[in-house]
Amino acid sequence: MRNVASLLLVLAALLMGVFTLILVLNGPPTFAAPPALAPLEPLPAAAFAAQPGQAAQQPDPPAVALDPTATLPAYIPADSLALYASTYDMLYSEAYRELESLIELRNDRYLSLVVQPVGRPSLAINFGGSRIQNGASTLKAPVLLYVIFRDPSIALTGWQDGVPRDAYRMIVGSHNSATGRVLLAASANGGSRTLDDFNVFLHTIIGLPESVGLTWWNYGVTSGLISDQVIGDFSYDEVGSNPYTLDSMVAFYEFLETPAWIEGAINQALATPGYPLDEDAYASPEIYRQAVQSAIAEARVLMSIPDPQFVTELERSLTRTQTANPDLQISLYGKNGTLRPDDWPAGRWQTIEGVVVTVAQDSESLRCAVAYSASQFSNDRVLDAALAYCVDLFRLDTGR
């Protein structure tokens, strides 16, 4: 076997030697070039003509030279301003989605929320604002405005004795019997018409819907009184009495922050018998007008005084928001309400609150009407996100 292998190697070497000798003597082989192709003839114009049922062919557009000095646009992530018409749209969308997720996580089918930047309805965030529910003590804020329109002096005497003191207790301490006395004192007709007079004010002077108001106030001097001036279809088992919506609550607080709306309400009051109750107390319509405007300013201050025995959820959220934004001045005023399971036919807890949140720095400010209701407490993450939306909107407005 070894001899065979050696013989094969010798033969291979001999063949390589012969091939090399041929290359040296004759040179490398040559290959013929392929024949040249004939040039293409241009197509006739008819080739571009439209055939029956076809659109005409168009020649390619000329190439566009790139400007070597131009800079390409920066890369923009897909989920960014590129998808929105403005930064306001992006802020709104992000806030809406966050609040929607937080509300779903609460697993409370009664949790509703409205955030309305004053005078900017396109930026309002609304979850369940039209749902009819029991207004509870939040309706005491409109009662305060009602008595002010009847007699502005009530708010201009430091909230001391008599009706002014009752008004103070109604708002700050949420005293129910004091609320009854205020309603009776403000009524032009008294007696069985006490609640009716308030509802007519709510609907015709301020302009809230006829489906909201006081159907009864069974405390103190107003015990046993009912009103048929609230027109709406609501479930007694779910609402009980005194139907209200967060949309109406927000509208009321927008009223307090809209000078033209207040002016229109004063004009309507002056055209309505019983405003003011004591016509001799105001020498002219202009004096009454100025007194009402001053009294409304005092009412805002009164509604900013916290109840010393109860801290509301929005007040807690305000404190956290202030801490997170030390460079801003953030405040609120409004009215809250709470119903215990034994208080009404629904047999569950209800917390409800409406406020005006003001975000300010130096001479610039933004105001939001915020209202919420729920059947559970500890809604801090939802309310913090609602106030954060107001703060973010202010910063976007001002660039701060």
Res 14: pLDDT: 55
Q: Residue 317 sits in a domain of what CATH number?
A: 3.40.710.10
The per-residue pLDDT string of the chain (400 residues; one tens digit each, 9 = 90 and over) reads 545 455 555 555 555 655 554 544 555 545 444 444 444 444 444 443 444 444 444 444 444 343 334 333 333 343 444 455 689 999 999 999 999 999 999 999 999 999 999 999 999 999 999 999 999 999 999 999 999 999 999 999 899 999 999 999 999 999 999 999 999 999 988 888 999 999 999 999 999 999 999 999 999 999 999 999 999 888 888 899 999 999 999 999 999 999 999 999 999 999 999 999 998 999 999 999 999 999 999 999 999 999 999 999 999 999 999 999 999 999 999 999 999 999 899 999 999 999 999 999 999 999 999 999 999 999 999 999 999 999 999 999 999 8
Res 20: pLDDT: 52
Res 317: pLDDT: 98
Give a yes or no: residue 54 inside a domain: no
What is the DSSP secondary-structure string of 281-339?
Answer: G-SSHHHHHHHHHHHHHHHHHHHTSPPTT---HHHHHHHHHHHH-TTSEEEEEEEEEEE
Helix (H) or strand (E) holding 336: strand 329-339
Give a yes or no: residue 58 inside a domain: no
DSSP letter at 159 equals S
β-strands 133-134, 243-244 pairing: antiparallel
Give a yes or no: residue 318 inside a domain: yes
β-strands 112-117, 125-127 pairing: antiparallel
CA-CA-CA-CA torsion for 186, 188, 193, 198, nearest 10 degrees? -50
Give a yes or no: residue 338 inside a domain: yes
d(C-alpha 139, C-alpha 352), whole Å: 11
CB contact at 8 A, 217 and 146: no
Name the nearest CA neighbour of 359 among 327, 384, 312.
327
Name the nearest CA neighbour of 200 among 176, 227, 166, 180.
227
Host domain of residue 340: 85-398
- Dmax over CA atoms of the chain, in Å, equals 144
CB contact at 8 A, 361 and 378: no
Give a yes or no: residue 122 inside a domain: yes
CB contact at 8 A, 202 and 209: no
Give a yes or no: residue 288 inside a domain: yes
Q: Between the CA of residue 232 and those of 13, 118, 148, 244, 334, what are the distances in Å?
A: 113, 27, 27, 10, 25
Number of structural domains, the chain?
A: 1
Q: How far apart are the first and last CA of the chain?
A: 96
Place of tokens 């956290």: 320
Give a yes or no: residue 24 inside a domain: no
Place of tokens 């039209």: 130
d(C-alpha 48, C-alpha 59), whole Å: 8
Long-range contacts of 97-101 (CB under 8 A, 24+ apart): 98/385, 99/125, 99/127, 99/382, 99/385, 99/386, 99/389, 100/127
Give a yes or no: residue 294 inside a domain: yes
What is the DSSP secondary-structure string of 78-102?
Answer: SSSGGGSSSHHHHHHHHHHHHHHHH
